[in-house]
Amino acid sequence: MNYRIIDRDKYYRKGVYRHFTEDCKCSVSMTARINVTELVKFSKESDTKFYINFLYLLCKVLNSRDDYKMQYLWKSDELVCYDVINPTQYVFHEDTETCTPVYTTYSENYNEFYKNALSDIENAKTSREYLLDSENHPNWFDASYISMISYDSLNVELPDGYLYFLPIVNWGRYREENGRLMMPLTVRLNHAVADGFLVANIYRLLEKEITVFCGN
């Protein structure tokens, strides 16, 4: 795990950063639907899991821009940008109605990521422990699939004044709308390091990556 320290005096968002870490500590959360028609088709034709394919593309998008890899280290009062961020995904256990966190290391190589993510998921299915270990996984972002519903809105709350900058991403079941498969996606980022443009940009980049990934 590597990162570089950001000089807050030279940070291109320094005015916004100061305001939203001192005057008005808050987050930006957005829910919108993305078109996953081609990714569903690709997954079926290639006999691969749609969930892992989407997770891979989400990781690729979030690692494509420094704004999405920022974090505040409260022990040293430093703003940092990680070289890479990885997904903390979750396995839901039907029998206990609980989740087990799954720490998967991101690789830009699709085949490597797919193999590792699949193995991590299968291993987590044998556990019923929560086993959240954020202290030893500082550059892992939250990526949670809500498989039970195709929702319209979702809001993730953190304690007031808590400066947590890594993305928190949720998505639900896709559903057919006007001949397309549309999936709800919720992105939460701290306003100190992101605004509406940067949050909305994730949706734009995801749909672009889906098109490229599916060969269209």
The pLDDT of residue 156: 84
Contact by Cβ (8 Å): 143, 55: yes
Residue-wise pLDDT tens digits, 164-174 = 999 999 999 99
CATH of domain 3-213: 3.30.559.10
Q: Is 78 helix (H, G, I), strand (E, B) or coil?
A: strand
Give the residue extent of every domain in the chain. 3-213
pLDDT, tens only, 102-140: 999 999 999 999 999 999 999 999 988 888 888 889 999
pLDDT at residue 134, as a whole number: 86
Sequential DSSP letters for 91-139: EEETTTTEEEEEE----SSHHHHHHHHHHHHHHHTT-------GGG-TT
The angle subtended at Cα 146 by Cα 43 and Cα 167, nearest 5°, is 90
Q: Is 48 left (phi over 0), alpha (psi -120 to 50) or beta?
A: beta
**168-172/27-35 β-pairing:** unpaired
pTM of the model: 0.95
Distances (CA, A) of 104 to 84, 86, 101, 213: 12, 6, 10, 20
Residues of the chain scoring pLDDT < 50: none
User: Residue 128 in contact with residue 99, Cβ under 8 Å?
Assistant: no
Write down the pLDDT at residue 1. Answer: 63
Tokens of 94: 């039907």
Under DSSP, the state recorded for 21 is I
- The number of CA neighbours under 13 Å toward the Cβ of 215 is 5
- Residues near 45 by beta carbon (within 8 Å), at least 6 away in sequence: none
Q: Quick one: tokens of 49?
A: 């899991």
Strand partners, 99: 92
